[in-house]
Chains A and B, each alone.
Chain A
Amino acid sequence: MCLGIPGRIVAITHAPNKLAMVEVMGVRREINIACIVDEAHPVDRCVGDWVLVHVGFAMSRIDEREAQLTLEVLHSLGEAQAEIAAMRQAGTGNANATAIGGLS
């Protein structure tokens, strides 16, 4: 009940009642989009929007830029970890350790 699922609005089915057809992994269903429309983003501009669908309502327009930023943070963490792992490996490496020590 409490879970939401991302879906894409493919058509407006009843503009005055703010109803739209959404597609979630190939499944289509009519949902209410009253929570994601306002003057800046009227009903007719919603086709193509990715939305979080919850019990027959679009509850939020998914922000693609924020989604990208979250992924970038995750990937940069991954890269940093790989870098640190590489450094650790180099640091514990036999000959390298001596060589670095020798240079200092």
Chain B
Amino acid sequence: MKFADEYRDPALARTLVAEVTQLADGLAARRGRALQIMEVCGGHTHTIFRYGLKDLMPPSLEFVHGPGCPVCVLPMGRVDDCVAIAEHPQVIMTSFGDAMRVPGSNKSLLQARAAGADVRTVYSPLDALALAQQHPDKEVVFFALGFETTMPSTAMTVLQAQALGVRNFSLFCNHITIIPTVQAILDTPDLRIDGFLGPGHVSMVIGTRPYEFIAQRYQRPLVVAGFEPLDILQSLWMLLKQLDEGRCEVENQYKRVAGDAGNAPALDAIAQVFEVRDFFEWRGLGSIAHSGVRMRPAFAAFDAERKFSVPNLKIADPKSCQCGEVLTGALKPSQCRVFADGVQRRRLRGLPPVRPHPPGAQRGASGCGMRA
């Protein structure tokens, strides 16, 4: 596949691993500890595990798997609300396949479907809109989740529904934003992370400038990275070069896709449809100020939270859950209390299951349900 295969060359990967190893060994020796590099995005976690990059790294470099998996960080209360909407007899609930298995305090969407609710997997929110046009007697709800990568697609779908005058389509909005989240991690006491691999597809939407504060105020370098194995390795090398030379900058390895200014039509659609929430609840991280968005009042007719009554209960994370410590790099996934638990026990405890397909598979493989 063009723009993918070129970035999978094993010989070049070996070269980069050698370079990264040399730099990491030197830096770790000077610091007296292993380097911790956080890949913010779940897509990067996926590449790191799929191509075995974790196993190619020297002991002097550890990956910390960041919060950038919208499925993993969704709290149970929001899933409960979604299930409550799905169980309404008039409703066809739609979402991406990844969202189907996330457990609520009682059941997942998949389990709601097994119990008789009309729950359907779609590839695109546009498919959900088409479904609404095909079923004018039903209310089609799209369970919208994801960071800025996915936000333009749902915003544009709502704008299209408005333009077409479709009245039986709405969003259950659970979109979250990356900057307040990374800031919350940076504000964690005893933070050990030495640098960040920046999320390539979020950056394609928001650009690279919103990260400047990370380099300037928090003195941590960040390299926006692509998703092929050589992209990750090259970005790591760029990050370690910065640390080695005492620089602290925002650099962009993924320039072929993500421009520094972001995508103007996408940002415009987001701004039209969504507004920032005061707080949004995260699994593992708790409540983070300004980290989520909701639909503007002008789009109330397309807002499932306004159209349907939802329980809106805050469900605490299970006591055994240590996702928060893992997310901030304080614990390795294997140190999590429930790392070795089986699928059934995790389900009983209300922890996310091991998901059979990426990116969740990598995170779920840890057994703590979120992180590998």
Residues of chain A contacted by B205 (CB below 8 angstroms): 59
B228 to chain A, nearest CB (A): 10
In the docked arrangement, what's the CA distance between A45 and B65, Å? 40
Query: Is the beta-carbon distance between A34 and B258 smaller than 8 angstroms?
Result: no
Q: B41 interface residue, CB < 8 Å from A?
A: yes
State whether B265 touches A55 (Cβ < 8 A): no
**A interface SS class:** mixed
Q: A55-B123, A57-B124, A77-B16 are in contact. Are A1 and B230 (CB under 8 A)?
A: no
Which of B3, B46, B124, B147 meets A56, CB within 8 Å?
A: B124
List residues of chain A with CB under 8 Å of any chain B CB: 1-6, 8, 17, 25, 31-32, 34-35, 37-38, 50, 52, 54-57, 59-60, 62-64, 66-67, 69-71, 73-75, 77-78, 81-82
Contact A56 B125, beta carbon cutoff 8 Å: yes
Q: Are B125 and A55 in contact (CB under 8 A)?
A: yes
- Say which residue of B1, B7, B41, B160 sits within 8 Å of A2 (CB atoms): B41
The yes or no answer to B2 lying at the interface (CB within 8 A) is yes
Q: How far is the CA of A78 from the CA of B7 in the complex (A)?
A: 13
Q: Which residues of B contact A69 (CB under 8 A)?
A: 255
- Given known contacts A1-B150, A3-B227, A66 and B256 CB-to-CB distance under 8 angstroms: yes
Whether a CB of chain A sits under 8 angstroms from the CB of B43 is yes
Hey, which bits of chain B sit against chain A, CB under 8 A?
1-4, 6-7, 9, 11-12, 15-16, 18-19, 41-43, 46, 68-71, 96-99, 123-127, 145-147, 149-150, 152-153, 156, 160, 201, 204-205, 226-227, 230-231, 234, 237, 253, 255-259, 263-266, 269, 358-359
**Apart from A1-B146, A25-B1, A60-B257, what 20 extra A-B contacts exist at CB < 8 Å?**
A1-B98, A3-B43, A6-B2, A8-B2, A32-B126, A34-B269, A35-B152, A35-B266, A37-B265, A38-B264, A52-B257, A59-B152, A60-B263, A64-B256, A71-B7, A74-B7, A74-B16, A77-B237, A78-B15, A81-B19
Assembly CA distance A8 to B1 (angstroms): 11
Assess whether B1 is in contact with A55, with CB atoms less than 8 Å apart. no
Residues of B within 8 A of A63 (CB): 255-257, 259
Interface contact A60-B152, CB-CB below 8 Å: no
Contact between B230 and A34 (Cβ–Cβ < 8 Å)? no
Quote the shortest CB–CB distance from B239 to chain A (angstroms).
14
> Max chain B CB contacts within 10 Å: which of A1, A32, A73, A74?
A1
14 interchain pairs (CB within 8 A)? A2-B149, A3-B227, A35-B156, A54-B149, A54-B201, A60-B204, A63-B259, A66-B256, A70-B234, A74-B12, A74-B16, A75-B12, A77-B12, A78-B11
Task: Kindly provide the distance from the CB of A23 to the nearest chain B CB, expressed in whole angstroms.
Answer: 11
B201 touching A62, Cβ below 8 Å: no
